[in-house]
Structure 1
């Protein structure tokens, strides 16, 4: 796991966008794993800017969302399919038919989850997965206690997660209790994981998954087992890392040719 500490969220977004641009230019048919929430927004803003100003193209790329709420009407403003369209794919030239998400409106949830796993596999797997981390250490919507080998499935949201996400809805009562989410095993199949986090509110979770034990009680800690995981955080999110000086030294002296 590589941990990179930068001054603020803009710098974090730029560096993560560098990794995505490098991938897409080398592999135009790249498969991107798309996250929602606040953390990926600086990445999407930077990629949209590069598309508009420098012609960075995603016309042959495809994307798979990490998760989706269960029970929201199709087209709901806060459904993750709509959030991804609004924040990223409608701002670049990704073909709409190449953007996929779990079917939160499915009547047969198990079949929908299996179909989503099969669709990712049929696309050749995810080349680069964007991730955020919840205050309780979740990635995707794999809440504490999730199996480290889990695949796409339905999950019940923790109270803390619903409270954290209430800012996107009129009230906490409007936040669904259930989601479909890629499992930890599914996420770990991606070739490159890029997790971004900002702010002091994420500092405890960042410390736990970077420097704590690998445990289902902190689902993001599974990244310690991934052969190519990059964690890009701001100073506030890094404030509880014991090894912060070591991570800074390693990045400052990293061979340029290695990239991310």
Structure 2
């Protein structure tokens, strides 16, 4: 695990874009794993900027998103389909046929999970997976207690996760209680993982990620066993981590 320390959110986003571009260039059909939420928005702005400057093309990139709410239509503003279109896809030269996001309105949730795994196995593994981390250590929507051997599956969202995401809804009651998410084993099969962290509220989680024991009670801890993980975090997020453990960029 390589921990890259930056000053602030903007620097985190720029460095993340550098690493994503480095991993995508030179591949015929690169597979990119994507995340949602506020943390990767700066990265996506950087990728849009670089695409418009013709520094990178997404015409042959295949994408797989980590997760999607169950019961939310793709055109709903709270869906991750909508988020990805707004924050990335509609602004770049992306072939929509190469976009994969779980179907949260399926009538057969278990079959949708199996289909998603088959789609990924057909073109994967993921070359570089973008991740964030929850305050409780969740990655994707893999909440504490999720098996490290899990594949794409349906998950009951923890109250802390729903509270954190309620800022995007009118009230907590509107936040879905279930989602489809890539499993931990699915994520760990990625060739490279890029974990983005910003802000003081994530400092305790980052310390636990780096120095804590590997346990299913803190799902992100499994990343300690992945052969190629970059953690890009700003000073606020790394305030509890000794400088000797980080690389300043």
Q: TM-score, normalised by structure 1?
A: 0.93
Secondary structure in 1 aligned to 2:53? helix
Q: Tell me, what secondary structure is at the counterpart of 1:14?
A: helix
Shift of 1:240: 1.2
Aligned length in residues: 249
Alignment of 1:69-80 (within 5 A): 69-80=69-80
Secondary structure of the corresponding residue to residue 231 of structure 1: strand
| Correspondence for 2:202 | 202
Q: Where do residues 29-178 of structure 1 align in structure 2 (5 Å cutoff)?
A: 29-178=29-178
Deviation of 1:55 (Å): 4.0
Structure 2 unaligned blocks of 5 or more: none
- CA distance, structure 2, for counterparts of residue 197 and residue 152 of structure 1: 24
- Cα gap change, 1:246/1:125 in structure 2, threshold over 3 Å: closer, same or farther? closer
For 1:3 and 1:48, how far apart are their aligned partners in 2? 25
Distance 1:205 1:124 in 2: 29
- Root mean square deviation, CA, Å: 1.1
CA offset at residue 56 of structure 1? 1.6
**Offset of residue 74 of structure 1:** 3.2
Please state how far the C-alpha of 1:73 moved relative to its aligned partner.
2.3
Q: Tell me, yes or no, if structure 1 residue 184 matches structure 2 residue 184.
A: yes
- State how far apart, in whole Å, the 1-side matches of 2:28 and 2:8 are: 29
In structure 1, runs of 5+ residues without a counterpart are: 253-260
Which consecutive segments of 4 or more residues in structure 1 shift more than 4 A?
none
Question: Partners in 2 of 1:213 and 1:180 — Cα distance?
Answer: 27
In structure 2, what is the Cα distance between the partners aligned to 1:163 and 1:120?
A: 30
